[in-house]
Amino acid sequence: MVEQPFQVPVGSGTLHGHVGGDGPPALLLHGGAAVTDYMDGCARELDGLVRTIRYQQRGTFPSVSGPPYSIEAHVGDALAVLDFFEIDRVWVVGHSWGGHLALHLAVNHPERLLGIVAVAAVGAYSDVFAEQEAAMRRDLDPEWVQRIEEIEARRRRGVVTEDELLERMSYLWPRWFADPENAAPNPIVHIGPQSSIDANASLAAHYAAKTLERRLPDVRLPALFVHGELDPFPLRSSTATAALIPGARVEIIEGCGHFPWLERPGELRRRVRSVVKSRGWAVLDAVRRDRSHVG
């Protein structure tokens, strides 16, 4: 797959991204928040089905943008990317935190979306995090668990460093996989500390306000939730959220953890194909795609 780099101005900063492929446009949103964009493998998985647009979210190198790092700011950035390419409507494929961000796009700007594919999504309910954390730490070295808790406490106090967040990620990365002993190489080389702190605070505020719980029932878009059978995030993170959206469906990938395109190549593509072919190609001519901005 051939991708071309692009840069989008946002406020006083710039978002860096890549675009490639042909077909209906699909905006890929990485998880995190505030980690390195790792969606290149997902873009390759979807090559030939959609034209993928992925970018490094604000607050993490190489994207340069100051605060705020709220959900509202991230939603604004996604719209800025669509406007840059003069795209009226797009499929959003969000992974983990990116799936949560996709849901906020759906409730705030449904007129810009063709549909949602939420992969291993951080959903509408916060009670899944305790179960996810327990699954991630099960069988970990007690010294690692203690260190993880120290780093997370520093993040909650707003004093964590990038090196500490990367250290935490090194302990936890294999645990996202159904077979931690054969986990894919860790692609996370940057984590924006302030972006991580602020985005998580914004996430907590929206959970307290029940934003998605209240507003997702009004969404009238195709919505597919894809979840790995062995994902540390419990399946109800997807099922309970999907139940809020009329007509949404959930598909489970057996023997898979948090990263289906890495653990079960082809399975995510098959599922995305089913939703995109049913609607995306029919509206392709109505979607304006200007490649003159790529460079």
* 3-state SS, residue 248: coil
**3-class secondary-structure state, position 71:** helix
Angstrom CA distances, 276 to 171, 208, 239, 268, stand at: 36, 34, 21, 12
What are the structural domain ranges in the chain? 3-125+191-293
| Angle of helix 97-108 versus helix 71-84 axis, rounded to 10 | 80
Q: In the block, which residue shows the tokens 């505020």?
A: 205
Report CA dihedral (231, 232, 234, 238) to the nearest 10 degrees.
-50
Helices and strands of the chain, counted as H and E runs? 11, 8
Q: Largest Cα–Cα distance of the chain, in whole Å?
A: 56
| Dist. CA 288–CA 295, nearest whole Å | 18
C-alpha to C-alpha distance for 148 and 228, rounded to whole angstroms:
24
Give the Cβ contact number of residue 106 at 10 Å.
25
At 67 the three-state DSSP class reads: coil
Q: Per residue, what are the HEC states of 125-136?
A: CCCHHHHHHHHH
What CATH number was assigned to the domain covering residues 3-125+191-293? 3.40.50.1820
* CB neighbourhood size of 279 (10 A): 14
| pTM, entire model | 0.93
Whole-number pLDDT of residue 46 = 98
The C-alpha atoms of residue 233 and residue 236 are separated, in whole angstroms, by 8
For every one of its 295 residues, what pLDDT tens digit does the chain have, with 9 covering 90 and above?
899 999 999 988 999 999 999 999 999 999 998 999 999 999 999 999 999 999 999 999 999 888 999 999 999 999 999 999 999 999 999 999 999 999 999 999 999 999 999 999 999 999 999 999 999 999 899 999 999 999 999 999 999 999 999 999 999 999 999 999 999 999 999 999 999 999 999 999 999 999 999 999 999 999 999 999 999 999 999 999 999 999 999 999 999 999 999 999 999 999 999 999 875 433 333 333 333 344 4
CA 31 to chain centroid, in Å, comes to 4
Q: Nearest 5°: CA angle at 33, between 32 and 36? A: 60
Q: Which residue is listed with tokens 């647009």?
A: 53
3-state secondary structure of 50: strand
Other residues' Cβ atoms within 10 Å of the Cβ of residue 264: 18
The closest of 191, 242, 184 to 213, measured between CA atoms, is 242
With residue 280 as reference, give the H or E element that holds it: none
3-state secondary structure of 159: coil
How far, in Å, CA of 260 to CA of 237, rounded? Answer: 16
pLDDT at 280: 40
Q: How far is CA 191 from the centre of its chain?
A: 15
